[in-house]
Amino acid sequence: MSEELRPLPAFEYVAPRSLAEAIVLMKQHGGAAQLLSGGTDLLPRMRKRKCAPSVIVDLNGIPGLSFIEMRGNDLHIGAGTRLTELHESRIVKEKAGALAAALRVMASPGIRNRATIGGNLCNGSKCADTPPALLVLDASVTLRGSDGERIVPLSEFFTQREKPVPGCGKTVIRADEIMTEVIIPCRQGSSTFLKLGRRKGSSISIASVAAFAAITNGKFEDVRVAVGAVGSAPVRSRKVEAALRGMPANEENIERASALIKEEIEPISDVRGSAAYRKEMASVLIRRVLTRIATGER
Amino acid sequence: MLVQFRLNGRMVEKQATPNSSLLDFLRDGLEMTSVKKGCDEGRCGACTVLLNGKPVCSCLMLAVQVRDAEVTTIEGLSRPGELSVVQKAFLENNGYQCGFCTPGMLLAAKALLDQNPDPSVEDIKEALEGNLCRCTGYEQIIESVSRAAEMMKTSVGA
């Protein structure tokens, strides 16, 4: 019943011209206000009455939230940067392989032209595609609120819950905080992303996997693996990572480590796939991303 | 709220409630009935319009968000009595059956051709990825876009 689409509920609309103004508005309205970035996820949720904010604070008129730039060894991406710009960015392709690979299989042009990276993260969807990629790239996010600014590692940004609690945040972001940027430290190594969905355009992931690895003298020196759509939140796989660190980057080790994911995740069964299928697929996808990195295949 | 924006090349001004989607605003308020309501949640692409030249799902935007922007619908593609090249190509190559998805397909195709005058079949598939055709006429649609690209190279006119 909650899935039924109805016209948008009534709300007050405000379009602040600065971040400071937006923060004041969010503080003033507490949890009753909702930020609007791309709107591609928010509007359907409002039509399904999954949320009914009394105030919409539109971030689209605020300058300075959309950029892609290198600062020293770090890649900084404005939270309001649209997926199309990231998809077409040469810097993202060169410096953040897993993110570029995720963008290649995300949504359709009409959605990518509106959806933003900040929105994709702040929605806290367990099946969003940028989180696994950004997790293996060791990204952090900058949150600005009335008490100032804080930088949170993405690995601590999503809240892990056994069961979704209505009205509770799926991320650690506070009601008066706004995500301003994503910071990706660029390190030696290579990363990629794979997802399993029913089709490419607008397809929601059944399972998604990203991996980063630095291989020195044939051994995994630094390795990070993350999974999406197979738990309550996108998450790093510490077991798979531990099984690979320091080990020769060969087929046997990759195969053995990939299987460990099945002990680590508790996926749900739904219309897109059973829990058992998701576990199996997560393991297969991990094996494939690691093999791609180990063999230098893109 | 008063929304002032450029629609198909002309400045328009119209009152919109904050909770009206761009889709409903265009159809009901401004009688741009080429913009179709399929799923109302960004999955079908029937409501595609060009926002500053780029395809977007008009069901996923609020009417008040297009202030000062430029919006193009099919009504803005053709001149009176003369179809645009993309429209001609779809017509001549049977790039439609029931026609419900056609406005979205045409605008997605136009946006592609504006950016890439010589698209491969893969480029076309990617550009039309968000536009569903329930009559399963994709082959002809893809051929129509390829043909439009050829026609643009050889012909004069819009």
Helices (H), chain A: 19-29, 42-47, 83-87, 90-95, 97-104, 109-112, 117-122, 130-136, 238-244, 251-259, 261-264, 275-294
Cβ–Cβ below 8 Å for A60 and B65: yes
Chain A partners within 8 Å of B70 (Cβ)? none
Count the alpha carbons within 13 Å of A103 in the hemisphere toward its beta carbon: 24
Concatenate the DSSP letters of all residues of A141-210 into one string: EEEEETTEEEEEEGGGTBPP-SSPPTT--SBS--TT-EEEEEEEE--SSEEEEEEE-SSSTTPPPSEEEE
- In this structure, what are the phi and psi dihedrals at residue A168, rounded to the nearest 5 degrees? -90, 145
Question: pLDDT tens-digit profile of B101-135?
Answer: 999 999 999 999 999 999 999 999 999 999 999 99
Query: For chain A, what are the domain ranges?
Result: 12-58, 68-185, 203-294
Architecture of domain A68-185: 2-Layer Sandwich (3.30)
Nearest CA in chain A to B49: A110
| A44, A47, A109 member nearest B127 (Cβ) | A109
CATH class of this structure's domain B85-153: mainly alpha
Q: Rounded to an integer, what distance in angstroms lies between the CA atom of residue A93 and that of residue A116?
A: 17
CATH C-level class of B2-76: alpha beta
Residue of A nearest to B39 (CA): A5
CATH (one of 3.20.20.70, 3.30.870.10, 3.90.10.10, 3.30.43.10) for A12-58: 3.30.43.10
More confident position, B10 or B80? B10
DSSP state of B74: G
Chain B residues at the A interface, defined by Cβ less than 8 Å, are 1, 17-21, 24, 39-43, 45, 48, 51, 54-57, 59-62, 64-65, 108, 111, 126-127, 129-131
CA separation for the pair A275, A294 (Å, rounded): 29
**Taking Cα atoms as reference points, which of A239, A246, A243, A238 lies closest to residue A222?**
A246
What is the full per-residue pLDDT of chain A (298 aa) written as tens digits? 446 778 999 999 999 999 999 999 999 998 899 999 999 999 999 999 998 999 999 999 999 999 999 999 999 999 999 999 999 999 999 999 999 999 998 889 999 999 999 999 999 888 899 999 999 999 999 999 999 999 999 999 998 765 555 444 689 999 999 999 999 999 999 999 999 987 665 577 889 999 999 999 999 999 999 999 888 888 999 999 999 999 999 999 999 999 999 999 988 888 888 999 999 999 999 999 999 999 987 5
Write down the ipTM of this complex.
0.95
In terms of Cα–Cα distance, which of A223, A246, A249, A248 is closest to A236? Answer: A223
Rounded mean pLDDT, B141-157: 89
Beta-carbon separation of A202 and B18 below 8 A: no
CA-based nearest residue in chain A for residue B132: A201
- Structural domain boundaries of chain B? 2-76, 85-153
* Alpha-carbon gap, residue A210 to A159, rounded angstroms: 19
User: What was the pLDDT predicted at B158?
Assistant: 46
Mutate to test the interface with A, among B20, B65, B67, B116 (most CBs of A within 10 A): B65
List C-alpha distances in Å: B5 to A11, A64, A92, B50: 22, 23, 33, 13
**Averaged pLDDT score across all residues of chain B:** 95
Closest listed residue to residue A83, CA positions, set B74, B20, B46, B130: B130
In a 3-state reduction of DSSP, which class is residue B67?
Answer: coil
Contacting B with CB below 8 Å, chain A residues are: 5, 7-13, 15, 36, 38-40, 43-44, 47, 56, 58, 60, 84, 107-111, 113-114, 200-202
* Residues A202, B130: C-beta atoms closer than 8 Å: yes
Place of tokens 């082959």: B139
**Domain A203-294, CATH:** 3.30.390.50
A109/B60 Cβ within 8 A: no
Residue tagged 């008490």 (tokens): A147
CA-based Rg of chain A, rounded to a whole angstrom? 19
Tell me the shortest Cα–Cα distance from A43 to chain B, in angstroms: 6
Q: Which residue of B has its CA nearest to A44?
A: B41
Find the residue in A nearest to B67 (Cα). A61
Render pLDDT for B75-84 as a digit per residue (tens, 0 to 9): 999 888 899 9
Per-residue pLDDT, A1: 42
Closest CA to A266 of A120, A137, A160: A160
Q: Which residues of B touch A113 (CB under 8 A)?
A: 51, 54-56
Neighbours of A149 (CB within 10 A): 10
Task: Return the pLDDT at A167.
Answer: 45
Which of A208, A63, A74, A46 has its CA nearest to residue A132?
A208
Name every residue whose Cβ is closer than 8 Å to that of residue B99 and which is 6 or more positions away in sequence. Answer: none
Report pTM: 0.94
Nearby residues of A250 by Cβ (< 8 Å), 6 or more positions away = A218, A294
